[in-house]
A and B are shown apart, each in its own frame.
Chain A
């Protein structure tokens, strides 16, 4: 077993991996950029090393700096988390060359899955169901025209090196094809330095369902059930759940077997996710494979009872999978909300800043994976994911009601978060009836929110509270403006006698 693991990441996922290390008696090494010295992952780690400026290219994406820290700290292994270097084959190879174990698949497996066209070709050979289209880059506009006519409009143009919706174009009619192809090519060239674009039949408002797989280094590969990830905004997932409300045992087995075949074709090891598009008739098509731990892995952990990070670490040490496919049981239902620092009233604009008040939910069926704390200033330099709130119940309805209850307990003051969006989603009749697809969230956001008149009783409560806060003065102030953390009466010589008296009363 490893004695020390370096976590090449930040935020909630770094904290998540540090916790797993400590549970397994392994020392955890954090790395941090200049703006992350006060971040939670540094506080939780056993050792912490600065790795440079805020810009990710200077720190969390800098392979050499991270390997230098691995050498200095004598770490046995590196866990990359998600994002940053997690799917970088060059990094995986550099780790192997430096004699430090990369907790994830091999560089070769990543490369096999990294290019979408190469992955498509391999999957075609393995007999994996694919969305009709080309498995090679388009050579000309004429070829695009011919293929589009054959598979039928609407079609989707996609960058071979793509991700996150970049280099993607939906084309409804032949006359739009030429400009869409040019647009997709130039965007792919700009974003990924690779202008290769291929074409697929567009499935309108599909469901996005993915299958978790685990493979050890002795040829055993299993699947841990699916996650429904159809709730997306700008191709970013917002709510995920397991199991999918439309997947029954038979469909799960068929999808799982395809996912295992995909992983084996790529020579895959460690944890990975095979993504599928699912149409209205429940036909599923291979989309791509994510060669890392996913943000939404906790929902799978809750319904299977397995700890994916523990298993990743055990697999990386060379252990065999400690259970068989037959021992994997799906029990209950889990739903995850991604809490972002963004302003729902201002088109979800990012909202970094100081967290002046944090009240966190707990209680039955609630798991919270968080990277924030009260008094911390959310930096503007990275992805605005603050925390994940996961609700678990014996069935979907109980998971929803527990999550709704927990969201009402959750309060993040000082910055804007999307917590109110989740109340809307969980309260939506279509969501509750599991009528969801990748167009769901856009439709919900377009719906004018019924401006409920404020509860007159709540207004009365607010007015009275405002007065009481005013009477209590600075004694009632937290870590935000106009308040000093841990302030005491003695430390404020300027406070008036009236305030001092009020404070004494308040503290009684």
Chain B
């Protein structure tokens, strides 16, 4: 198997084969001696040479993170032979949606339609788990639309406002 793997934004090519329980592995063209045991779901015990690692996997909202010790890496795996899973391009142009990071209640709306906001400027205040926090604009621009008002209950992922 050949995979294109992105770790924290950097691409790597990994060739993995296993024969009779043993893995053979080439990372970016370099031979690596690997021994792997699935300790439990989402937890791999790896030996690379004689160095031992425990790797934990997290899958949330379609995104994968891998933890090596207490270091966390964003990971994407693509099979170069398939058309699926092409790298998404991050686009800072055009309207941006502000979404609720978690379920909660809108406490205050800090801006009005047509207002100018800076990147990182406060747009509204949300409350969840007894804590209030500001939802900030992802970019500099104009508030095109505000879709909620104070007192509204919102779910994670709900669009709260649009910045153009």
Contact = CB atoms under 8 A, between A and B. Distances in A.
**B is a partner of A:** yes
Interface of A: 341-342, 346-353, 356-357, 359, 380-384, 407-408, 411, 413-414, 420, 423, 454-455, 457-472, 475-483, 505-508
B62 A481 contact: yes
Given A464-B34, A478-B42, A469 B57 contact: yes
Contact of B131 (A350, A457, A471): A350
Contact of B102 (A380, A462, A477): A380
B30 to A, nearest CB: 9
Contacts of A459: 7-8, 10, 73
Interface stretch (B20-28, B89-97, B111-119, B143-151): B20-28
With a 10 A CB-CB cut-off, give which of A342, A349, A353, A356 has the most chain B CB atoms: A349
B60 A460 contact: no
Given A408-B70, A420-B70, 12 more contacts: A352-B128, A356-B58, A357-B58, A359-B56, A413-B67, A414-B60, A461-B53, A464-B48, A468-B46, A476-B57, A480-B58, A508-B21
B125 to A, nearest CB: 12
A19 B143 CA distance: 53
Contacts of B42: 356-357, 413, 476-478, 480, 483
Interface of B: 1, 3, 5, 7-8, 10, 12, 14, 16, 18, 21, 23, 25, 27, 32, 34, 36, 38, 40-44, 46, 48, 51, 53, 55-62, 64, 66-71, 73, 75-77, 101-104, 128-131, 133-134
Contacts of A507: 38
A454 B9 CA distance: 12
A508 B25 CA distance: 20
Given A357-B58, A470-B3, A481-B62, A349 B133 contact: yes
11 contacts: A351-B102, A352-B102, A359-B43, A408-B69, A458-B68, A459-B10, A460-B27, A462-B73, A467-B5, A468-B44, A483-B42
Contacts of B68: 455, 458, 461-462, 465
B75 A466 contact: yes
Contacts, number: 174
Given A464-B34, A469-B57, A478 B41 contact: yes
Contacts of A407: 70
A380 B129 contact: yes
Contacts of A460: 27, 32, 48
B104 to A, nearest CB: 6
Given A352-B102, A461-B46, A471 B16 contact: yes
A469 B40 CA distance: 12
Contacts of A357: 41-43, 56-58
B64 A466 contact: yes
A310 B133 CA distance: 39
A465 B55 contact: yes
Closest 10 CB pairs of A and B: A478-B41, A350-B129, A478-B42, A465-B55, A458-B68, A467-B14, A462-B73, A413-B58, A466-B75, A384-B129
A455 B59 contact: no
A505 B3 contact: no
B140 to A, nearest CB: 20
Contact of A464 (B1, B14, B56, B131): B14
A352 B16 contact: no
B38 A463 contact: no
A347 B16 CA distance: 40
A467 B3 CA distance: 7
A32 B154 CA distance: 24
B102 A411 contact: no
B50 to A, nearest CB: 13
A465 B59 contact: no
Contacts of B7: 459, 462-463, 466
Contacts of A469: 44, 57, 77
Contacts of A380: 102-104, 128-129
A458 B58 contact: no
B54 to A, nearest CB: 9
A433 B46 CA distance: 37
A471 B5 CA distance: 13
Nearest to B18: A505
Given A350-B129, A380-B129, A464 B46 contact: yes
A359 B21 CA distance: 27
A508 B44 CA distance: 14
With a 10 A CB-CB cut-off, give which of A341, A353, A461, A483 has the most chain B CB atoms: A461
Contacts of A466: 3, 5, 7, 14, 64, 66, 75-77
A411 B38 contact: no
A460 B7 CA distance: 9
A223 to B, nearest CB: 31
A483 B75 contact: no
Contacts of A475: 38
A123 B10 CA distance: 64
A220 B58 CA distance: 53
A383 B131 CA distance: 8
Contacts of A423: 70
A346 B136 CA distance: 11
A159 to B, nearest CB: 18
B25 A464 contact: yes
